[in-house]
Amino acid sequence: MVRLVSGARFRPVSGATCPDPIRYGPARPGHLCLDGAATDGPDEQAHDDRTRVRIRRCLKFILVSLLSTGLLAAIPAANAEPVRLTRGVNLTNWFRYPSSRDPAALAAYLSDRALADLQATGFDFVRLAVDPEVVSGDTAVLIGAIRRVQRHRLAVIVSPHPHDWTVETEPGRLSAFWLVLAPKLAGLDQALTIPEVLNEPVFPNDPGGWAAVQHRVLGEIRHALPRATVVLSGNDWGSVAGLLALAPEADRNVLYSFHFYDPAELTSLAAYRHDVDRAALTGLPFPVTAQSNCDVSADPATADLAHYYCSFFWDAPRIAAGIDNAARWARDHDVKLLLGEFGASADLNAPARLAWLKTVREAAAQRHIGWALWGYDDSMGLAIARPVGGRPVLNPAVLSALGMTAVK
What domains can you pick out in the chain, each with its CATH number? 9-69 (no CATH), 79-263+314-401 (3.20.20.80)
State the alpha helices, DSSP H only, in 89-228. 103-107, 112-121, 140-151, 171-185, 207-224
Q: Which whole-number Å values give the CA distances from 359 to 36, 349, 354, 371, 399, in the listed order? A: 64, 16, 8, 12, 13
Q: Where residue 79 falls among pLDDT bands split at 50, 70, 90?
A: low
Residues with Cβ within 8 Å of residue 331, at least 6 apart in sequence: none
Average pLDDT over residues 99-112: 93
Give the DSSP per-residue string, 225-281.
-TTS-EEEE-HHHH-HHHHHTPPPPS-SSEEEEEEE---HHHHSSSTT-SSS-HHHH
What is the greatest pairwise CA distance in the chain?
A: 106
pLDDT at 338 exceeding the cut of 50: yes
Q: Which whole-number Å values give the CA distances from 390 to 111, 337, 393, 396, in the listed order? A: 6, 34, 10, 18
pLDDT at 292: 86
pLDDT at 18: 37
Average pLDDT over residues 29-55: 46
pLDDT at 73 exceeding the cut of 60: no
Nearest to 166 by CA among 134, 130, 139, 203: 203
pLDDT at 207 exceeding the cut of 90: yes
Residue pair 259/200 in contact by the 8 Å Cβ criterion: yes
pLDDT at 71 exceeding the cut of 50: no
Interatomic CA distance for residues 398 and 408, integer angstroms: 16
HSE at residue 267, side-chain half, CA atoms within 13 A, is 21
3 state SS of 123: coil
Provide the phi-psi class of 280: left if phi over 0, else alpha when psi is between -120 and 50, else beta.
alpha
pLDDT at 29 exceeding the cut of 60: no
> What's the angle, vertex CA 368, arms to CA 367 and CA 373, rounded to 5?
95
Residues with Cβ within 8 Å of residue 170, at least 6 apart in sequence: none
Q: Radius of gyration over alpha carbons of the chain, in Å?
A: 28
3 state SS of 128: strand
pLDDT at 133: 96
Tens-place pLDDT, residues 130-174: 999 999 988 999 999 999 999 999 999 999 999 999 999 999 999
